[in-house]
Chain A
Amino acid sequence: GNSVTQMEGPVTLSEEAFLTINCTYTATGYPSLFWYVQYPGEGLQLLLKATKADDKGSNKGFEATYRKETTSFHLEKGSVQVSDSAVYFCALDRGSTLGRLYFGRGTQLTVWP
């Protein structure tokens, strides 16, 4: 089946620390992979995406590389800020016209000044 597993939080970091949030997936076919971010009290918004193997998605200093050999899409940022505090969701779309996204459970990130 299709599923996404991401590291459990919460993750607590000091400002300017390096961030990694692990995400692995199980899917049939060739899925697209996404990271969504949810700031406190808001809905989710797309952070970055990658549609094929070895693609790197990037946005706002965050990066993730689609690794088919390890079925992973880890989220990284070299220097986090307090404003990055949010819940991060990894997701996959197996490419059907239905547009069915499978989400991980989410990882809470808190950045302290």
Chain B
Amino acid sequence: SQTIHQWPATLVQPVGSPLSLECTVEGTSNPNLYWYRQAAGRGLQLLFYSVGIGQISSEVPQNLSASRPQDRQFILSSKKLLLSDSGFYLCAFMIQGAGELFFGEGSRLTVL
């Protein structure tokens, strides 16, 4: 069966510091991969998605970036965090054509 894991689960970072959140998927090949952000009271916002290695599409302009160095690895990064980057970040994958998203456990980022 397919599984997804992301880490760290909780992160407290000062403004201006870098960020790296990592997500890995097991049990499937060539999945679509997604990064969502859930800010308080604002629902889910799609940040990035990827349909293959090295292929990243951005949904909203921001100071975050994403990379997919391997088929089942998806990384969310920032060079300098802003206060507004605080939130709950969710990685997800979809088996292509299946229509169902599987979410990781989430990473709570607090920028102080």
Residues of A within 8 A of B (CB): 32, 34, 36, 41-46, 49, 51, 89, 93, 95, 97-101, 103-106
B99 contacts which of A36, A93, A103 (Cβ < 8 Å)?
Answer: A93
Residues of chain A contacted by B51 (CB below 8 angstroms): 98
Q: A103-B43, A105-B42 are in contact. Are A45 and B94 (CB under 8 A)?
A: no
Contact B49 A98 (CB under 8 A): yes
* Segment 11-69 of B: residues with Cβ below 8 Å from A: 32, 41-44, 46, 49, 51
Contact B43 A43 (CB under 8 A): no
A31 to chain B: closest residue by CB: B99
Nearest CB on B from A95, distance (A): 8
Residues of chain A contacted by B46 (CB below 8 angstroms): 100-101
Contact A43 B94 (CB under 8 A): no
Measured in the bound complex, the distance between the Cα atoms of B41 and A105 in whole Å is: 8
Measured in the bound complex, the distance between the Cα atoms of B106 and A42 in whole Å is: 6
Nearest CB on B from A99, distance (A): 4
Contact A101 B101 (CB under 8 A): yes
Contact B99 A99 (CB under 8 A): yes
Q: A44-B90, A105-B42, A106-B44 are in contact. Are A49 and B100 (CB under 8 A)?
A: yes
B90 contacts which of A43, A104, A105 (Cβ < 8 Å)?
Answer: A43
Contact A34 B100 (CB under 8 A): yes
Contact B43 A46 (CB under 8 A): no
- From A34, A89, A101, residue with most partner B Cβ within 10 Å: A101
Residues of chain A contacted by B99 (CB below 8 angstroms): 32, 49, 51, 93, 95, 99
B7 within 8 A of A: no
Measured in the bound complex, the distance between the Cα atoms of B48 and A100 in whole Å is: 11
Residues of chain A contacted by B41 (CB below 8 angstroms): 105
